Amino acid sequence: MKAEIITIGDELLIGQTVDTNSAWMGAELSRLGFDICRKISVHDNKTDILDTLWNVTGKSDVVLITGGLGPTSDDITKQTLCEFFNTHLVVNHEVLRMIEVMMKQRNFPMNENNRRQAEVPELCKVLRNKRGTAPGMWFEKGGTIFVSMPGIPYEMEYIMKEHVLPELGRRFTSQSIIHRNIMTYGAPEARLAEILTGFEEELPVEIKLAYLPGYGIIKLRLTATGPDKLKLNSLVDEQVKKLYGIIPDLIFGEDEDPLEKVIGRLLKDRNQSVCTAESCTGGRIAQMLTSIPGSSDYYKGSVIAYDNKVKTEVLKVNTSDIEKYGAVSGQVAEEMARGARQLMKTDYSVAATGIAGPDGGTKEKPVGTLWIAVASENGTKSEKHLFGYDRISNINRFSVAALNLLWKQILYR
C-alpha cells in the first residue's frame, strides 16, 4: 500500500508557512500500514499542479492533497482538479447551507467569495467540513484515490479523522505498520549507535531501527511491518524490553512524550512541586513545563534572573561568589536553585546559567557553556555542559539538559 502527499501553496516554498500537514498525514497513514513514498510541495501554478497529478496517477494507492481551496483568486486547486478529472464546478447546496449557518454564527456577512466555497467538482464525493467553509473532495482515477482538503491544519485533521482515515481503513487492510518511539537523552547519536550495535544486529527481520536526533534528545523509532498485527506488537514489546535492559539510564519516555510531560506526570503522581530560576534560557524551561495541560498542579513559578542584581537581590546569590567564580559557574547555579526553592516553597527547583552566544564567551568559558542545578530536600546537584555556537540551538539544548537533570533527581532521589 503506497501513498503520496501533495501540499499546494507558494507560502510553503518560500518559507512563510511551515508544512506541518505532511508530518501529521504521514504519521496517520503510516499507522494504517501505508508506505509514504513521496511528499511534494507545489506552488500555486495550474501547469505544475497538473504535471504533479499526472505523475502520481497509477503509481500509488492514495494521494492526499492540501491547500488552494480558499475563497480568493489565488486559490486555484478546485479549477485545476476539474481540468484533471474532466469535470466542472457545481454548487453543492448542503455545503452552501453549512456555510450560511457558519457565517451567521460568527456574525460575518455572507458574500460571493463565501458562496463560491460551495462550488465543487461534479464528479467528486464531498467530505463535509464542520471546522471551516471549504469541504474535502474525494476522487478516483487510474487506480489511485485522490483526496483534496483545506490547508488549514485543524480543518484538514477534522476531514481526515471523520472521513478519510475510516474509509481507507475499510479498503486497505492487508498490511500493518507499527511504530514505537523510545525517547532517550544523555548519549550523542554516534555513541548511542555504538552501544546498540549488537541490539541492531539481532533485530527480527520485521523490525527496523531509526535514530531521530533533536536538541540532545534522540528518539529511537522501532518500525515493524507485516500482515499479523498481534505478532508485530509482541515482537516490538520484546525489543523495547531489551532496550530498557541495555540503556536504562538513557530512556526517559516513550511515544513522543517530551521530558516536560514525563516530569509533570512524576510530580503529579507524587503530589510534589517545582519552580525554575533561569538566566541564559530566559524562561524557556518554564515555558516547556507550563506547555503541559494541568501543569498548574505542580509548577509554581519562575525567576528570570538575567541581570546579576536579580540573582543577588531576589535569589540571594552571594555577590562574592559571582565575583570569584563568575555568573556562569556551578556555585552560582546551585545558589540560584536553592534561592528559588526557598522563595517559592517547592519540593524541587531547577536553575540554569550559561553563555548562549553568539557573543560573551571567553577562552575559559566559551559560547555554549552551561551550568545547571537542581535543589531538593536531598541537597543540590549541579552539572556542567558545553554545547555549540548557535544561540537558539543553545537555548533549547540548555533547557533540555536542565529538565533532564530535574528528571533524574526526581526519579532517583
pLDDT in tens, the chain (413 residues): 899 999 999 999 998 999 999 999 998 998 888 889 999 999 999 999 999 999 999 999 999 999 999 887 778 999 999 999 999 999 999 999 998 998 888 888 888 888 888 999 999 999 999 988 899 999 999 999 999 999 999 999 999 999 999 999 888 866 778 889 999 999 999 999 999 999 999 999 999 999 999 888 999 999 998 888 899 999 999 999 999 999 999 999 998 889 999 999 999 999 999 999 999 999 999 999 999 999 999 999 999 999 999 999 999 999 999 999 999 999 999 999 999 999 999 999 999 999 999 999 999 999 999 999 999 999 999 999 999 999 999 999 999 999 999 999 998 76
Which amino acid makes up residue 154? Y
User: Which grid cell sits at 327?
Assistant: 555568573
Pairing status of strand 176-185 against strand 144-149: unpaired
pLDDT for position 174: 65
The distance between the two most distant Cα atoms of the chain, rounded to a whole number of Å, is: 80
Enclosing H/E stretch for 289 = helix 284-290
pLDDT tens for 284-327 read 999 999 999 999 999 999 999 999 999 999 999 999 999 999 99
The residues near 227 (Cβ < 8 Å, ≥ 6 apart) are: 174, 175, 176
Residues recorded for the chain = 413
pLDDT for position 32: 85
Which regions of 9-48 does DSSP assign to beta strands (E)?
35-42
Please state the pTM of the whole predicted model: 0.72
Sign of CA dihedral 189, 192, 197, 199: negative
Query: Does residue 51 sit in helix, strand or coil?
Result: helix
Which regions of 46-134 does DSSP assign to beta strands (E)?
62-66, 89-91, 119-121, 125-127
Helix axes 259-270, 391-411, angle to 10 degrees: 30
**275, β-bridge pairs:** 349
> Domains, the chain, ranges and CATH?
2-171 (3.40.980.10), 176-254 (3.30.70.2860), 259-411 (3.90.950.20)
